[in-house]
């Protein structure tokens, strides 16, 4: 039988990933104990040449990371930590993140920060749901400046269809678990987005701001 006592027993860090794919390492904190996350944080301390993101970090996770990497940037709105704290110089096209409602903010923020730490310039547009179309119509010129747009929405998830019909950039849609009853934890907006009647919409997992920001950064990468 194996002895399950140290880092090697529960995680094989993949620091060659930056070289292989050109993007940061990300540690998904949920489902890991704070002490596991802390051990990983300590292990990356020797590699300031690589950006490391800690996503979906609870307060306890954040504390463990900051113990090992005191100067890490902690964005509580996005439940995310980044180290080294300063994002790379922005290159490539603009990534704009659009959130339908206030309650979608955590996910939207996670998407924006991820794209920013992958090196893109970013903007955030909040509370422009389709129940009041004038709000999104007022932002069309802003949206058309983007090379990739992340649209975050819960409940009816109708916003990506509307946005995709107004721009020619690709739209990455993120359903959120905001809502209740027949929202079924985000299933409703997920299905809405998969059936978007406007072409140019792709979907990531419910609440997956990290994945959306990552994809948008890849789309908007410099040629």
* Alpha helix (H) residue ranges in the chain: 7-10, 17-21, 34-44, 59-68, 105-117, 133-137, 140-144, 159-164, 187-194, 209-219
Choose, by CB under 8 A, the member of 10, 88, 91, 145 that binds its own copies.
10
What the block records as the tokens of 16 is 């060659």
Question: 47 vs 135, which CB is nearer to its own copies?
Answer: 135
Choose, by CB under 8 A, the member of 41, 69, 83, 122 that binds its own copies.
122
200 touching its own copies, by CB under 8 A:
yes
Return the range that interacts with its own copies (CB under 8 A); candidates 42-50, 59-67, 126-134: 126-134
The CB density around residue 68, as the number of other CB atoms within 10 Å, is 17
Return the range that interacts with its own copies (CB under 8 A); candidates 44-52, 58-66, 105-113: 105-113
Query: x/- string (CB under 8 A) for its own copies, residues 57-76?
Result: --------------------
Return the range that interacts with its own copies (CB under 8 A); candidates 43-51, 57-65, 98-106: 98-106
* Termini Cα distance of the chain: 50
Q: Dihedral, CA atoms, 175, 207, 146, 133, nearest 10 degrees?
A: 40
Choose, by CB under 8 A, the member of 45, 48, 59, 77 that binds its own copies.
77
Asked whether 41 and 65 are in contact (CB, 8 A), the reply is yes
Determine phi and psi for 146, rounding to 5 degrees.
Answer: -80, 150
Choose, by CB under 8 A, the member of 12, 46, 89, 141 that binds its own copies.
12
Choose, by CB under 8 A, the member of 82, 129, 143, 146 that binds its own copies.
129
Q: Whole-number minimum distance, CB 173 to its own copies, in Å? A: 8
Determine phi and psi for 133, rounding to 5 degrees.
Answer: -55, -30
Tell me, by CB under 8 A, how many residues bind its own copies. 103
- Rounded (10°) angle between helices 209-219 and 105-117: 40
Choose, by CB under 8 A, the member of 6, 21, 59, 152 that binds its own copies.
21
State the number of CA atoms in the 13 A half-sphere of 213 facing the CB: 32
Choose, by CB under 8 A, the member of 81, 100, 146, 151 that binds its own copies.
100
The CB density around residue 139, as the number of other CB atoms within 10 Å, is 15
Query: x/- string (CB under 8 A) for its own copies, residues 148-187?
Result: -------xxxx--xx-xxxxxxx-x--x-xxxxxxxxxxx
116 touching its own copies, by CB under 8 A:
yes
């Amino acid at each position: 039988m194996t002895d399950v006592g140290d880092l090697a027993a529960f995680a094989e860090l993949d620091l060659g990933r930056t070289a292989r794919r050109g993007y940061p390492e990300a540690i998904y904190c949920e489902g890991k104990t704070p002490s596991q996350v802390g051990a990983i944080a300590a292990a990356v301390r020797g590699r300031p040449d690589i950006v490391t993101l800690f996503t979906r970090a609870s307060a306890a996770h954040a504390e463990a990371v900051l113990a090992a990497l005191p100067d890490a940037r902690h964005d509580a709105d996005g439940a995310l930590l980044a180290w080294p704290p300063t994002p790379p110089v922005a290159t490539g096209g603009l990534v704009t993140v659009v959130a339908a409602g206030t309650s979608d903010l955590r996910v939207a923020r996670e998407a924006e920060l991820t794209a920013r730490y992958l090196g893109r310039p970013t903007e955030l547009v909040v509370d422009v749901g389709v129940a009041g179309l004038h709000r999104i119509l007022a932002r069309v010129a802003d949206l058309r400046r983007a090379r990739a747009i992340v649209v975050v929405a819960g409940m009816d998830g109708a916003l990506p269809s509307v946005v995709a019909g107004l721009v020619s950039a690709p739209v990455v849609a993120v359903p959120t678990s905001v809502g209740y009853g027949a929202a079924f934890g985000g299933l409703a907006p997920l299905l809405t987005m998969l059936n978007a009647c406007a072409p140019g919409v792709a979907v990531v997992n419910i609440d997956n701001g990290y994945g959306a920001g990552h994809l948008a950064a890849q789309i908007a990468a410099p040629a």
